[in-house]
Chains A and B, each alone.
Chain A
């Protein structure tokens, strides 16, 4: 593995680590000291150099190890990647979007040569070289969505648009915050969000759907979501819940700083040109509490968010049983000083 990428695990011995640079660029998701649901969309435009927003698809030090973890999840459970038959065109749209973006943004790692429909793709970090015919799935080792998302960090779903609704009809989902693609595939926008508490009544999904139905090609948007995960486990799937559930019960005051992770999802939404589908990458970033508190503003704010969150949300996000343990760890880092608005460190 090259020096650009960590050799680490997201299971078993959990050797996942963030470098000092990764901590500095971590996408801390709270712009203020409290949290409640909001649609909170903004244009997905390039951000500061070095930030996770610099490029369309962020490739970071965890890339190679994350792709190895995805391959293992898929070997264990192929149902984590599914595409209903009419979604192949959207898969090609996604493949094109990712290959063009990565070849443009990271030319030292990725190359794409196009000669009509004869494409030549080189992925140096994963040591992949592929010549194929664009729009001819028989020239790839698997479907286009699966092919490119085995080489791209983050979960992906593809939404078909019809009847003034969005239908989740394809996806690659191996780093999910406890939801099942196999169960939800084929559902409408409000159906697959049905289990989320409070937000329906607040009109969140009405507004979000209305907004997304009008999403334009070439004008992607982004938002954050977050939850809490014990140990840097990417695959917190409902399928494997009996395997990872017990880990929530074994944290102690001595281990909470190392084991408790803030899990941030950078969600982007892209209208696709041929299929008119919407691609929804859900990129997961993990940071341990002990790394998070090295940034004073984040430490203060994390304490206030966890302290003040409604129990219903803490339950839904799955950390109510460890809330007291988390607060005991975070409280000493909160000196009561005001924090500045926005995500950035002071």
Chain B
């Protein structure tokens, strides 16, 4: 899969690299959608890691599902989860049980990577402990600044908050703690004057 080229962005938005297999006692990979490609690339370049690798995979919201390719890697543990929320209890357990030297990798959408980093931080690890590689969809995870609800997989701008129904424009301002971009009511000053949505995040 092609790696994503990002436009220059404001400083709160993370920048992503390429997964580099590191020396470690265990290797935890969490990926969604096209992020599977980054996991395959990393483990193909360092096959010795497979015996100590645990892969958690969530098929993409856009339908991309590379479960077969990941299973074919022959890693020590593979788990396919239907959503990040469903994967979180397992991820939390793995992080809590981790020993010194476990390497953590996240690949796929920005929302997935940020949520993995947030889970790692909740387990006491620094943000930098998670290697990240963006692959596939640019769909955004957006928090409504008004009702605080998070809408997943936002591709349109503006879009309707899935919680309170306000029409929000999507800022580039990004919170690592919330693992989300910020959504702000677009017609606050002129209620009802809402421009047409465009697909900004494919």
Q: Flag whether B73 is at the interface (Cβ < 8 A).
A: no
Q: How many A-B residue pairs have CB under 8 A?
A: 68
B82 to chain A, nearest CB (A): 29
B99 to chain A, nearest CB (A): 24
Q: Flag whether B80 is at the interface (Cβ < 8 A).
A: no
Q: Flag whether A296 is at the interface (Cβ < 8 A).
A: no
* In the complex, chain B residues whose CB is within 8 Å of the CB of A240: 146
**Contact check: which of A186, A194, A238, A248 meets B10 at CB < 8 Å?**
A194
A187 to B175, CA, bound (A): 7
User: Among residues 168 to 194 in chain A, which have CB atoms less than 8 Å away from a CB atom of chain B?
Assistant: 180, 182-187, 190-194
Determine whether the beta carbon of B190 is less than 8 Å from that of A183.
no
**Contact check: which of B11, B143, B166 meets A194 at CB < 8 Å?**
B11
Closest residue of B by beta carbon distance from A185: B177
The stretch from B39-47, B83-91, B180-188 touching chain A is B180-188
B142-169 toward A: CB 8 Å interface, digit per residue (1/0)?
0101101000000000000000001000
Q: Given that A180-B145, A183-B182, A186-B177 are known contacts, is A191 also in contact with B188, CB under 8 Å in the complex? A: no
How many chain B residues sit at the interface, stated as a range, is 20 to 34
User: Among residues 1 to 56 in chain B, which have CB atoms less than 8 Å away from a CB atom of chain A?
Assistant: 10-13
Q: Flag whether B81 is at the interface (Cβ < 8 A).
A: no
**Contact check: which of B11, B171, B175, B190 meets A186 at CB < 8 Å?**
B175
Determine whether the beta carbon of A194 is less than 8 Å from that of B146.
no
Determine whether the beta carbon of B11 is less than 8 Å from that of A190.
yes
Determine whether the beta carbon of B189 is less than 8 Å from that of A195.
no
Q: Flag whether B191 is at the interface (Cβ < 8 A).
A: yes
Closest residue of B by beta carbon distance from A187: B12
Determine whether the beta carbon of A239 is less than 8 Å from that of B176.
no
* In the complex, chain B residues whose CB is within 8 Å of the CB of A193: 11
Determine whether the beta carbon of A241 is less than 8 Å from that of B177.
no
* In the complex, chain A residues whose CB is within 8 Å of the CB of B182: 180, 183
Closest residue of B by beta carbon distance from A189: B11
* In the complex, chain A residues whose CB is within 8 Å of the CB of B148: 79, 182
Q: Flag whether B178 is at the interface (Cβ < 8 A).
A: yes
Q: Flag whether A200 is at the interface (Cβ < 8 A).
A: yes
* In the complex, chain A residues whose CB is within 8 Å of the CB of B172: 194-195
Closest residue of B by beta carbon distance from A169: B177
Q: Flag whether B202 is at the interface (Cβ < 8 A).
A: no
Q: Flag whether A246 is at the interface (Cβ < 8 A).
A: yes
A186 to B178, CA, bound (A): 10
Q: Which 10 A-B pairs have the closest CB atoms?
A: A245-B188, A194-B12, A186-B177, A194-B10, A191-B12, A245-B189, A190-B11, A241-B188, A242-B188, A194-B11
